[in-house]
Amino acid sequence: MIIPEFAILVFTVLAALLYAEATGRSWKLIPKMALSSGFLLVAWDHGAIDSVYGRWILVALLLSWAGDLILGFDRAFLAGLISFATAHLAYVVAFQTSGVGLAGFLTGGLATLAIGLVVFGRLRPHLSDRLARAVGSYIVIIGLMVGAAAGTGMPAIWLPAAAFAVSDIAVARQRFLRSSLANKIWGLPLYFLAQYALATTV
């Protein structure tokens, strides 16, 4: 359980991040990494290291932390994409330890892939062949992650997993379609809410 004081601190730092993004401050990576470090602390405090599921969630969060740091540098997008792709795969392994039903996996996975194909169709004209392959592979991995989350049948897992996937649309829009503060206003809170929620499931 996240105590109210910690939740207030998280939302305060998130507000600082959004302010930094809105005003183009050079220190915006500081609140971003503070928030990323926060979800690691939540997982650790909830006993992540005490179970196989928890340890894989912690691995996924560590890889996400690394992805957040890497994406703080303008020319490191592909490396950040790889870091987050491996984070999603770690989530898949974690969810598998809780048991994944085939019906839920197919429903969640195929729905995510269908949305991903629509998004990819919009992105493709703006991608080099190399990036198109990387983004296409990433979408497949997201489909596996959301499918595995849905297959657990646990809303506490599949709802934040789906929110994580949706937040990636904001990243794609910002990077390849239209740079806009609006993408960050809804994408960043959704991403961090998803990560903190998954951190509490350990």
Work out the number of other CB atoms within 10 angstroms of the CB of residue 27. Answer: 10
Domain extents for the chain? 4-199
Q: How confident is the model at residue 143 (pLDDT cuts 50, 70, 90)?
A: very high
85 neighbors 138 (Cβ within 8 angstroms): yes
Q: How large is the average pLDDT for residues 48-77?
A: 95
Q: Is 51 helix (H, G, I), strand (E, B) or coil?
A: coil
Whether 183 and 29 have beta carbons less than 8 Å apart is answered as no
Single pTM value for the model:
0.95
Give the pLDDT confidence of 150-196 residue by residue, as tens digits. Answer: 999 999 999 999 999 999 999 999 999 999 999 999 999 999 999 99
CA dihedral of 64, 20, 188, 91, whole degrees rounded to 10: 10
Q: What is the pLDDT of residues 87-133, one digit of tens each?
A: 999 999 999 998 999 999 999 999 999 999 999 999 999 999 999 99
